[in-house]
Amino acid sequence: NQLARVSIVNVYGDAVYDKVVLPRESVTDYRSHITGLNKQIIAETGISFKRVQTEVAALIKDRVIIGHDIRHDFQVLGFSHPKHLIRDTSKYKPFKALSAGNKPSLKKLCLELLSTEIHNNTVHDSVEDARCSLQLYRKHRTAWERSIKKHKRKQRQGEDDEVGEEESEEDPLKD
């Protein structure tokens, strides 16, 4: 698995970063039917992995990141992000309930919760995927954030709060 494209949208769904990435190793299958990318497109528009890695790290530093099954994205980028700043639509329990406790596909979540069809016989658009993940989060934000606070309270029951670990009342979708 290699990184082919990175897309980031802001709180309004506007693409603030959308780059094609030059491969670091030889590519045997571009999966063009899924990615929409091929050797020529990548060669003409791609930028170095190191540059993408540096730019993305700077963009997401100290921000809440919303995405679908985003652990893979962090793996291929070669870095991690603080767990408390991640909202993953593939791991949110009420969404998993739609797939009998398993990881639901983004396509399924969009259809069932947003009444929106994505990936219909077309290539996956990473900007569209980012926007859909954001829409899912925004639609369920109040309950989602409440469940996070409840989980934190349960973890701290019987323990004194340590300095710097107070719950934030700040909106995670701040600019």
**Side-chain-facing half-sphere of 169: CA atoms under 13 Å:** 0
pLDDT of residue 33: 87
Q: Tell me which residues of the chain have a pLDDT lower than 70.
A: 158-175
pTM recorded for the entire structure:
0.85
Is residue 45 within 8 A of residue 21, CB to CB? The reply is no
pLDDT value at position 151?
A: 83
Q: What is the 3-state secondary structure (H, E, C) of the chain?
A: CCCCEEEEECCCCCEEEEEEECCCCCCCCCCHHHHCCCHHHHHHHCECHHHHHHHHHHHHCCCCEEECCCHHHHHHHCCCCCHHHEEECCCCHHHHHHHCCCCCCHHHHHHHHHCCCCCCCCCCCHHHHHHHHHHHHHHHHHHHHHHHHHHHHHHHCCCCCCCCCCCCCCCCCCC
Q: What is the pLDDT of residue 123?
A: 84
